[in-house]
Amino acid sequence: MKSYSRLRSPTLPTSRLRRPRVAPFTPRQQLNVIVGQFTSPMDGGNSGIERLFRSFDTQIFYRPSPVMAGDDFVRPELDNVQASVVGPSGAQQAAFSVDATDEGTVLRVAVLYLQSLTGNPALGNWVLVDLVQGGAGSNTWTGGGSVDASVITNGHVDFMVQAVDSNGNVANSTFKGLFYIAEELPPAPAPGGGPGTIGVVVTAGDDEVDPGDWITTDPVKVVITDQDAGTRYEYSVDFAPFVPLTPAGFLITGDGVHIVTVQGVRRQQPGDLCDPDRYYAAAGFDHNAGGR
C-alpha cells in the first residue's frame, strides 16, 4: 500500500472566490391584498355588510426618506375628521376636512370614498381624491368630489382617510372594515322662514345666486338674514373655529366645496349667555373660481 504525503489541495482562481457585490437574497416589495371584508351587525342588528373587491387600481401611498429617518416610525395623527354631502339632487358633492399632524412634515392627505353604486348585486365605485393643505404651517386639509345619488339612499357616504409624512410613515383611518361617513346636509334655509329660523343669501358679484348652484365667481358673499335680536351668532367655514357673525355677512374664496355652519346662543338675560340653549343651521356651497 502506497502513501502520498506531498498531495496538495486544488486551488481556484481568486477572482472566483470573491464575495458577490449583491447578496443572493435581495429584498423585494410585496403587496398584500384583502379581496373581501365583512362588517358585523351593530346595535343588535340582524345583518352586516359584506364587500367583495372584483377589480381595483393600486397606488403606492409611501415614500422613502431622503435621509436616514432615525427613530421616526410614528405615523401621522388624524383628527377632527369632518365630511358632508351638499348640493341639489343630481349635482351633489362630498366635502372633506381633516386635521393631520406629525413630528416631521405631512406630505399628503387623501380620501377614498364610495362615489357610486350600479347593478344588482350592487357594484361600488370608490374614488381617491387628494386634499389640499390650508396654507403653510396649517394642519387642516380640505377637498371634495362628486357623489352619485345611488350611494346616499341612507343619507350618508362611506369614506376613509390616509396620510403620509416625510419619512414614509403612513396613517390609515379604517379599522376592521369600519369607515367614516359623510352625512347629507339639508338645503340652505331661505329667508322668511318664520320665527326662530335664519335665512341664507349668497351673492356672486352683483347677483344673488342659489346656494346649491355651482358658482364660478370669486369671491362670493354670504349674508345670514332673519337674525334674532336676542341671539349672538357665530359662523364657521369648512369646520374652522367659530368666529362672530355680523349682519354684513362674510366672504368665501377658493376652489372646492365649502361648508358654512351657523350657530346661535340665546340670551336668557342681558349679559347672560346660556351655552346649552344652542341651535345650528348648516348650508353647503359648491364654489369653483376657475369655472367647471
Task: Give pLDDT tens digits for 33-82.
Answer: 778 877 777 677 777 778 888 777 877 776 666 655 567 778 899 988 88
Provide the pLDDT for residue 101.
Answer: 92
* pLDDT value at residue 110: 94
Residue 208 maps to a domain:
yes
3-state SS, the chain, equals: CCCCCCCCCCCCCHHHCCCCCCCCCCCCCCCCCCCEEEECCCCCCCCCEEEECCCCCCCCCCCCCCCCCCCCCCCCEEEEEEEEEECCCCCEEEEEEEEEECCCCEEEEEEEEEEEEECCCCEEEEEEEECEECCCCCCEEEEEEEECHHHCCCCEEEEEEEEEECCCCEEECCECCECEEEEECCCCCCCCCCCCCCEEEEEECCEEECCCCEECCCCEEEEEECCCCCEEEEEEECCCCCEECCCCCEEECCCEEEEEEEEEEEEEECCEEEEEEEEEEEEEEEECCCCC
Residues 167 and 84 in one domain: yes
Domain that holds residue 251: 199-287
Which tens digit of pLDDT belongs to each residue from 147-174? Answer: 888 887 667 888 999 999 888 888 888 7
Q: Which of 156, 185, 214 is the last residue of a domain?
A: 185
- Is the pLDDT confidence value at 9 over 50? no
* CATH number, position 259: 2.60.40
pTM of the complete model beyond 0.85 = no
In a domain? residue 179? yes
- Percent of the chain exceeding pLDDT 90 equals 12
Instruction: Verify that 143 and 115 share a domain, yes or no.
Output: yes
Does any domain span residue 35?
Answer: no
Tell me, yes or no, whether 153 and 239 share the same domain.
Answer: no
* Spatial contact of 105 and 54, defined as CB atoms under 8 Å apart: no
Quote the pLDDT of residue 26: 61
Region 256-271: what's the mean pLDDT?
71
Residues 6+ apart with CB under 8 A from 235: 224, 242, 243, 245, 250, 260, 261, 262, 263
Question: What's the pLDDT tens digit per position in 73-118?
Answer: 788 999 888 888 877 777 788 888 899 999 888 999 999 999 988 8
Residue 263 has pLDDT above 80, yes or no: yes
CA distance 126 to 229: 47
Query: Does residue 18 sit within a domain?
Result: no
Residue-level pLDDT at 68: 55
Q: What confidence score (pLDDT) does residue 162 get? A: 93
Q: Are residues 84 and 175 in the same domain?
A: yes
Q: Does residue 275 have a pLDDT over 50?
A: no
Q: How far is CA 186 from the centre of its chain?
A: 20
User: Can you tell me the mean pLDDT for 187-198?
Assistant: 78
Q: Do 80 and 168 fall within a single domain?
A: yes
Q: Are 269 and 206 part of one and the same domain?
A: yes
End of a domain among 132, 155, 185? 185
Average pLDDT, the chain: 75
- 172 and 207 housed in the same domain: no
* Residue 285's pLDDT band (cuts 50, 70, 90): low
Q: How many domains does the chain have?
A: 2
